[in-house]
C-alpha cells in the first residue's frame, strides 16, 4: 500500500525533494539556535567579547529570516505538491469509473463514489504533503538535537530521554484505535452523502407524496450514526492528545528536575541546563508533529485504502486481446442460446434465447414487466455479459470486437432519458461531437422538435436543467432521438420510450422513430402494443423465455401469450 502511494510522487520528484530539502534545512536551523545560546552563556558573556556576541546575534536574526523563507516554501509548494497529486488521483479515479461495467454501479451508491472523489482525496492530499514533511522534520530535529545534547552532557541527555519511549508506545497503540474510528466515519459520511443525493434527486416524488417527514427521519438516522461515530472518534483523539500532552510536560519536568539535581551534584553547569531547556523547546514541536503525523497518516491511509478499493475493481466487461472493430453490413443481430442472470441473484432473467433479427428489419419485444425485455436489449451493446451463449452482429461475436466500435454502431433510446445539465446543443453533440448547427437543426427537425426549439429565446443554447427538468418528457425523448439521428448507427434500440407519455407526444415520437428506423435494424421494446402492430416481427418473452414469434395478425390468430396481453390492454 505504501509503495503504491509513493508512486504518485514520481511525476513531481523535483517538488518533493525541494520540500524535503527545505524541511531538513529548517531542522538544522532550529537545532543551531540553542547551541548559539550556549556559546553566548559559556564563552562570550564571561569573556565579555562584544564583537562575537554581535556576530552571534546577527546569525540568530539570519536564522529567523531563513526560517520564514523556508516556511513559505514548505507551505506554498508543499501544498501545491499535494494538490497536483490529488488532481492526478481524481482524474485516475474518474477515468477508472468510466471504464467500470454496469454491474459495479448496480451495487454501488453514487453518494459513496462522491465521497471518495471529494472527502477521501482531500484527506489523501493532506497526508501527501504533511506526512513525509512532518516525519522528516521530526526525525531530523530529534536526532540532531540529541547528538548535540549528548555531546554536551550524557547524564542530562539520558534523564531527558525518559518520557520518549512511553510516548512512542502510547502513540502507536492509540494510532491503531484512531484508524478504526476514521474508517467508520468515512463510511458514515458516504452514507450521509448518498442519503442527501437520493432525497434531492427525488425531491418531486418526496413532495408529491408528502413524505418530507419520512425523508427527514431517514436523514436524521444516518446523521445520528455519523454524530455517534464522530463522537467516538473525538473521544479516542481526546485521550490520545491529553495523555501525550501530559508526557510533553513530563519531558520539561524531567529535564529541569534532573538538571537541577545534576548541578547540585556538580555534574553539569548551569548554562547546560539552560541549553537543554531550550532544546526541549526545539524537540517538543517535532513530537507534536509526530502526533499529528500519526493522526494524519491514519486518516490518509484509511482514505487511500478506499481509493484503491475502487481502483482495484476490474470491469466485468473488457475488450479481449487483439479485439477488432465491428464491421456492419446488414446489421443483423443473433442470439445463440443466451441465458443471463444478474450478479448475486438466483433468478434467471433470460433462459436459452435463440433468435436472429435480420438486418434492416423492425422487431418488437413484448411481454409482462420482468419478462426480460430490457435485459435482452442491454446485452446487444454489451452492457452486461451473457452467462451462457453468445450475441452476434452480422456474424461477429460481440465479445471479440471493441466495445467502442460496438456501441458506435448502436443507437439507444431509453425510457428514462438522461440529459446533462447543459444546453440543448451540448446534449445533442453527444450524438456527434463535431456536428454543425445545420446538422443539429436537421436532427431536431427529423425528431419533430425543431419548431419548438426555434421558439426558445436562446435556441440551441437553452439550458435544459438538471436531468432535463426544464423540458417535458416528450421533449426530452425527442432530443434523445435527435442525438441518435446525429449518431447515425445501423442498429437502433427503442426501450419503452413512449410508455409514460401522452398520446400527442407518443404520436410525434413514433413518427420520428419511424423516420429514424428506415433502412436500419430496429428493436422496439413496447409496453403499449399499439406501437408495434406494424413491426416486421414481434417477439414475446415470458419468464425469460422466448415463447412466441410472428406478426401482429399471426400472433393474434395463435391465441397465445400475445393475444392475452393484447386483450388485457383492451385494444381493437
> pLDDT (tens digit, 9 = 90+) per residue, 16-48?
999 999 999 999 999 998 999 999 999 989 898
The three cell numbers locating residue 506: 407518443
Regions of the chain where pLDDT drops below 70: 110-112, 172, 175-176, 179, 201, 204, 467, 496-506, 570-572
With left for phi above 0 and alpha for psi between -120 and 50, is residue 88 left, alpha or beta?
Answer: alpha
Is residue 164 domain-shared with residue 220, that is, in the same domain? yes
Q: How far is CA 352 from CA 291, 338, 374, 380, in A?
A: 62, 5, 16, 15
Q: Are residues 297 and 170 in the same domain?
A: yes
The verdict on 303 and 340 lying in the same domain is no
Report the distance separating Cα 26 and Cα 69, nearest Å: 10
* Residue 216 covered by a domain: yes
Judge residue 124's burial from the number of C-beta atoms within 10 Å of its C-beta, 0-12 exposed, 13-18 middle, 19 or more buried: buried
Q: How many domains does the chain have?
A: 2
Residues 549 and 435 in one domain: yes
Q: Are residues 228 and 344 located together in one domain of the fold?
A: no
The position carrying cell 425528431 is 447
**Structural domain includes residue 321:** no
Residue 570, pLDDT score: 58
Same domain, residue pair 46 and 122:
yes
Q: Are residues 150 and 118 in the same domain?
A: yes
Task: Take residue 380 and report the three cell numbers written for it.
Answer: 446487444
Q: How many CB atoms lie within 10 A of CB 147?
A: 11
Q: Do 394 and 344 belong to one domain? A: yes
The domain in which residue 285 lies consists of 2-311
Domain boundary among 277, 311, 345: 311
Query: What is residue 394's predicted lDDT score, i.e. its pLDDT?
Result: 93
The continuous run of DSSP H or E covering 362 comes out as: strand 362-366
- Residue 90 β-bridge partners: none
447 and 512 part of one domain:
yes
Neighbours of 244 (CB within 10 A): 20
The Cα–Cα gap between 547 and 550 comes to: 11
Same domain, 360 and 292: no
- Quick one: DSSP state of residue 40? I
Integer Cα distance of 465 and 351 in angstroms? 41
CATH code of the domain containing 98: 1.20.1560.10
Say if CB 306 and CB 120 are below 8 A apart.
yes
- What is the layout of strands, in order, in the sheet containing 362-366? 410-413, 491-495, 521-525, 362-366, 537-542, 545-550
Helix (H) / strand (E) element for 514: namely helix 503-517
CB contact at 8 A, 283 and 254: no
> Same domain, yes or no, for 283 and 372?
no
Phi then psi dihedrals of residue 494, to 5 deg: -115, 100
Query: Structure pTM?
Result: 0.68
Instruction: Tell me what pLDDT residue 571 has.
Output: 47
Is 317 inside any structural domain? no
What's the rounded Cα separation, in Å, for the pair 416 and 500? 9
Determine whether 533 is exposed, middle or buried from the number of CB atoms within 10 Å of its CB (0-12, 13-18, 19+): middle
| Cα-only R_g, the chain | 35
Distance from C-alpha of 117 to C-alpha of 89, rounded to nearest angstrom: 9
Asked if 120 and 256 sit in the same domain, the reply is: yes
Say if CB 462 and CB 423 are below 8 A apart: yes
CATH classification at residue 390: 3.40.50.300
- Dihedral sign from CA coordinates of 528, 342, 199, 86: negative
Does the residue 207 lie in any domain?
yes
Predicted confidence at residue 232, as pLDDT, reads 83
Amino acid at each position: 500500500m505504501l509503495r503504491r502511494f509513493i508512486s504518485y510522487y514520481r511525476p513531481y520528484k523535483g517538488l518533493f525533494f525541494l520540500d524535503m530539502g527545505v524541511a531538513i534545512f529548517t531542522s538544522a536551523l532550529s537545532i543551531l539556535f540553542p547551541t548559539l545560546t550556549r556559546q553566548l552563556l559559556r564563552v562570550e558573556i564571561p569573556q565579555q567579547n562584544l564583537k562575537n556576541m554581535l556576530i552571534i546575534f546577527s546569525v540568530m536574526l539570519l536564522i529567523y529570516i531563513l526560517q520564514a523563507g523556508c516556511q513559505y516554501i514548505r507551505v506554498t509548494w508543499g501544498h501545491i505538491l499535494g494538490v497536483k497529486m490529488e488532481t492526478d488521483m481524481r482524474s485516475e479515479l474518474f477515468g477508472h469509473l468510466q471504464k467500470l461495467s454496469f454491474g459495479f454501479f448496480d451495487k454501488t451508491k453514487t453518494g459513496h463514489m462522491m465521497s471518495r472523489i471529494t472527502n477521501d482525496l482531500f484527506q489523501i492530499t493532506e497526508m501527501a504533503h504533511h506526512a513525509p514533511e512532518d516525519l522528516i522534520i521530526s526525525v531530523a530535529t530529534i536526532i540532531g538535537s540529541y547528538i548535540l545534547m549528548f555531546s554536551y552532557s550524557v547524564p542530562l541527555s539520558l534523564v531527558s530521554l525518559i518520557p520518549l519511549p512511553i510516548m512512542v508506545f502510547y502513540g502507536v497503540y492509540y494510532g491503531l484505535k484512531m484508524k478504526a474510528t476514521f474508517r467508520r466515519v468515512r463510511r458514515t459520511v458516504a452514507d450521509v452523502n448518498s442519503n442527501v443525493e437520493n432525497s434531492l434527486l427525488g425531491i418531486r416524488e418526496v413532495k408529491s407524496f408528502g413524505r418530507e417527514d419520512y425523508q427527514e427521519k431517514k436523514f436524521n438516522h444516518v446523521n445520528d450514526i455519523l454524530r455517534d461515530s464522530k463522537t467516538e472518534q473525538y473521544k479516542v483523539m481526546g485521550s490520545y492528545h491529553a495523555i501525550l500532552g501530559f508526557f510533553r510536560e513530563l519531558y520539561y519536568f524531567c529535564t529541569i528536575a534532573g538538571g537541577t539535581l545534576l548541578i547540585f551534584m556538580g555534574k553539569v553547569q548551569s548554562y547546560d541546563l539552560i541549553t537543554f531547556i531550550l532544546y526541549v523547546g526545539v524537540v517538543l514541536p517535532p513530537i507534536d508533529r509526530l502526533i499529528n503525523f500519526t493522526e494524519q497518516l491514519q486518516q490518509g491511509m484509511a482514505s487511500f485504502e478506499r481509493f484503491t478499493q475502487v481502483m482495484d475493481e476490474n470491469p466485468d466487461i473488457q475488450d479481449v486481446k487483439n479485439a477488432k472493430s465491428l464491421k456492419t453490413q446488414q446489421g443483423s443481430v443473433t442470439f445463440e442460446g443466451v441465458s443471463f442472470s444478474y450478479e448475486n441473484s438466483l433468478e434467471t432473467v433470460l433462459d436459452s434465447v435463440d433468435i436472429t433479427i435480420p438486418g434492416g428489419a423492425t422487431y418488437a419485444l413484448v411481454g409482462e414487466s420482468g419478462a426480460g425485455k430490457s435485459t435482452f436489449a442491454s446485452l446487444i451493446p454489451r452492457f452486461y455479459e451473457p452467462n451462457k451463449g453468445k450475441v452476434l452482429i452480422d456474424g461477429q461475436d460481440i465479445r471479440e470486437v471493441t466495445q467502442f466500435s460496438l456501441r458506435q454502431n448502436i443507437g439507444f433510446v431509453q425510457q428514462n432519458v438522461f440529459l446533462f445539465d447543459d444546453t440543448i446543443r451540448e446534449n445533442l453533440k453527444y450524438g456527434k461531437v463535431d456536428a454543425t448547427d445545420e446538422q443539429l437543426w436537421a436532427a431536431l427537425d427529423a425528431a419533430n422538435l425543431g419548431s419548438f426549439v426555434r421558439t426558445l429565446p436562446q435556441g440551441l443554447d437553452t439550458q435544459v436543467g438538471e436531468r432535463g427538468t426544464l423540458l417535458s418528457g416528450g421533449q426530452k425523448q425527442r432530443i434523445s432521438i435527435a442525438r441518435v439521428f446525429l449518431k447515425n448507427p445501423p442498429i437502433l434500440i427503442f426501450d419503452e420510450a413512449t410508455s409514460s407519455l401522452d398520446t400527442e407526444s407518443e404520436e410525434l415520437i413514433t413518427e420520428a422513430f419511424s423516420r429514424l428506423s428506415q433502412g436500419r435494424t430496429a428493436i422496439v421494446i413496447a409496453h403499449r402494443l399499439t406501437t408495434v402492430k406494424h413491426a416486421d416481427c414481434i417477439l414475446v418473452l415470458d419468464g425469460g423465455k422466448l415463447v412466441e414469434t410472428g406478426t401482429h395478425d399471426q400472433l393474434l390468430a395463435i391465441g397465445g401469450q400475445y393475444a392475452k396481453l393484447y386483450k388485457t390492454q383492451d385494444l381493437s
